[in-house]
Structure 1
């Protein structure tokens, strides 16, 4: 896919001075302060890349700088790709959003809702209604993530290593394990960030009749020319793979020229990472690695109504459906959420079919537009797309957890502050 031509911010109604201020903020507050190893920020508006700068290190230990072709673990930024892939099957009439999940996973038909007990001796009650396909896409299924450490149910997930990207298991094994663990709540009654998108990946394989990773490659990655996006990093690209770090408030290594104390601990060495070989567990919820350029290609297709360079993924009406709020009653995330999943408060934010969606910028207390949609990954990667402003922002780094710093809020504030010619 032909890459967009770089252009000046002013040519697309943005301020270079404001974007330079954002880069200085990232450098001084995060890189020089030892909070991030390095960053890559790309801003695209009105068909032009108006800002694209890489700073700092992709690998501190080996002094490898972040470059335009650095490969990052995007973790939950995998979810929008998986959700789009599934909606391609919906468009083909092969599955419907209001169908019960047990139509495709019969062993889940009698899943109960947690009342009391610990694994494997749970007391349950019947759900008020069956889990639907739409519940998986909008995270109202009653499933959970083990990392939430909030309940006896997610404790059972941890015990069974359910949903762990690096687990030595399979998608089928996850489905089998989940049949033995109750739901957190009756489907549709709450929002809970969960392994639901991994289940969507499983359903893609089941319905399409080919492995999920093959479907994704044949229907999205290859047609769009996303050659650096995969569930593992091949040997010939391993030198481009970034290290991943954990935020360490106590201070870790010293690595800056100023000898300022760092706050990072190496979490995943790119020379020994499990991402260097094909996984047995193909995670549609968090398994992909990618580059900023590849992810921009995917985002451009979405911003363009589901099509780019003659390759159509979805129709614009389907994409509009995906980026509408699907939470029951039209409420926002805080009204339904049981999750501990990000640093943002999410007032005024709903959830669609694979994306968080801004409903009311005034309630978020952050500049933005109604209809803007976004998500991020565990290692502090993030993106947002604003159709009204013809705007895409993609941010990459590799620091766990994403909640360590209020970076996403700062990015949104400073990117929108750079707009000088608003479409609204």
Structure 2
């Protein structure tokens, strides 16, 4: 029989997992993907093996099934790392194995880090959720002189709208300001001015969810304005140093060893062409899988009460995990989103996925306090990314079920 693991509820399974390790297609060595043999639509990886061996079997199956060069994963709770392992290679046709020290681009898993920094500033009294952003009294009032295309809507934007993707537009579609090629050469200041002047908002802030990379770019500039420090400097000092993470950095177009190489089956050169450094506060960090687990535990430490450093107060955690129900009215594809984290209230469990050309990532904090992350140095071709992401989600829950002793109280 198969054991279904639902991300909304962490079920501590003690029985055997589904019988047999499923390896679709012709078997190949893990870490030696074949880009000409895309994965089938059905047949997710399962294993009858439990313990760490079961985790390894699932991981090796997954990177073979989805033609991934390499993968790194980590599990922990309360500041402790229970398990970390790496698979495959740092390059698509490479010979250098991925290790647990290999850093990967984490893409949109950056957003929880930016959210944590914003809430630290709120706790310090430097901001409120209702602080205006662009008006003359706003935190980014240096842009108040820009003739915005939709000035009434822009003037209504508050910090909470950026955190929750409720600013009313600037969504991650074909007109995402962060990815438009004609904007690639613009620095943050010029990009913001250009976007305000040429891209109007469809809705009044607070009325409609629209996932916005640009909104989190703005939050990075808020952090810089309030602290007087570059975004990455503040996050390293205020968020990363307290949890013992000392070498996360913002990505560049080149490699910063020990960093994985990146492969995109649609365009192998593209991961090194787009302006990744400018994506600092919405998708720019590189990290180890264990760095993400330490961070995820620290964000929720005050309410988990399982030890380890705590980055935020319980009141901030309550706000981060609260969901704005009004968002579903105009976006049927809406995933319940708090402030920097997607939220499933059945647990509740908090998580975030990341996806860029050459990158796939996930960070999950469950209601039991167990935290895990996975980083990969590729993503599948257009049209199969959502399916792969869903399978990765299920895979990590299945891995956690291989170790029922990791449950709280076990």
Name the TM tier (shorter chain).
0.7 to 0.9
Greater share of residues in strand: 1
* Matching residue of 1:100: 132
After superposition, the C-alpha distances for 1:210-231 in whole angstroms (9 at most, x for unaligned) are: 2222211221223333222011
Q: Does 1:133 align with 2:159?
A: yes
* Matching residue of 2:7: none
Q: Does 1:323 align with 2:309?
A: no
Unaligned runs of 5+ in 1: 1-11, 113-121, 162-166, 249-263, 339-344, 361-368
Q: Distance between the aligned counterparts of 1:423 and 1:226, measured in 2?
A: 25
Question: How much is the aligned-residue C-alpha RMSD, in angstroms?
Answer: 3.6
Distance change (3 Å), C-alpha of 1:265 and 1:45: same
After superposition, the C-alpha distances for 1:346-383 in whole angstroms (9 at most, x for unaligned) are: 6xx521111001123xxxxxxxx22x101021121101
> Please, what TM-score do these two structures have when normalized by structure 2?
0.73
1:40-189 superposed matches below 5 A: 40-45=72-77, 48-102=80-134, 103-106=138-141, 107=143, 126-127=152-153, 130-145=156-171, 148-149=173-174, 154=176, 158=180, 160-161=182-183, 167-180=184-197, 181-189=199-207
- Partner residue of 1:218 out of 201, 224, 237: 237
Q: Distance between the aligned counterparts of 1:88 and 1:273, measured in 2?
A: 31
* Matching residue of 1:407: 391
User: In the TM superposition, what is the alpha-carbon distance from 1:126 to its structure 2 partner?
Assistant: 4.4
Distance change (3 Å), C-alpha of 1:125 and 1:201: closer
Q: Distance between the aligned counterparts of 2:130 and 2:211, measured in 1?
A: 20
Q: Distance between the aligned counterparts of 1:384 and 1:357, measured in 2?
A: 10
Where relative contact order (Cα < 8 A, 6+ residues apart) is larger, the structure is 2
User: In the TM superposition, what is the alpha-carbon distance from 1:42 to its structure 2 partner?
Assistant: 1.5
**Could you tell me whether the CA contact under 8 Å between 2:249 and 2:285 is conserved in 1?**
yes
After superposition, the C-alpha distances for 1:267-298 in whole angstroms (9 at most, x for unaligned) are: 446xx9977xxx4x362001111111222221
User: In the TM superposition, what is the alpha-carbon distance from 1:303 to its structure 2 partner?
Assistant: 3.4
Q: Does 1:396 align with 2:379?
A: no
1:171-320 superposed matches below 5 A: 171-180=188-197, 181-194=199-212, 195-232=214-251, 238-247=256-265, 265=268, 267-268=270-271, 279=277, 281=278, 283-305=280-302, 312-320=310-318
After superposition, the C-alpha distances for 1:63-118 in whole angstroms (9 at most, x for unaligned) are: 11110100101111111111110111111111110122221234458877xxxxxx
Q: Distance between the aligned counterparts of 2:247 and 2:78, measured in 1?
A: 25
Look up the SS of the partner of 1:377 in the other structure. Answer: strand
After superposition, the C-alpha distances for 1:28-86 in whole angstroms (9 at most, x for unaligned) are: 2x333462111112222476544322111121333111101001011111111111101
> Please, what TM-score do these two structures have when normalized by structure 1?
0.71
**Could you tell me whether the CA contact under 8 Å between 1:188 and 1:328 is conserved in 2?**
no
Alignment size in residue pairs: 349
**Could you tell me whether the CA contact under 8 Å between 1:31 and 1:38 is conserved in 2?**
yes
User: In the TM superposition, what is the alpha-carbon distance from 1:172 to its structure 2 partner?
Assistant: 1.7
Q: Distance between the aligned counterparts of 1:308 and 1:220, measured in 2?
A: 19
User: In the TM superposition, what is the alpha-carbon distance from 1:176 to its structure 2 partner?
Assistant: 1.4
Unaligned runs of 5+ in 2: 1-11, 16-48
Q: Distance between the aligned counterparts of 1:169 and 1:317, measured in 2?
A: 38
User: In the TM superposition, what is the alpha-carbon distance from 1:389 to its structure 2 partner?
Assistant: 1.3
Distance change (3 Å), C-alpha of 1:376 and 1:202: same
* Matching residue of 1:252: none
1:352-391 superposed matches below 5 A: 352-360=338-346, 369-370=347-348, 372-378=349-355, 379-386=359-366, 388-391=367-370
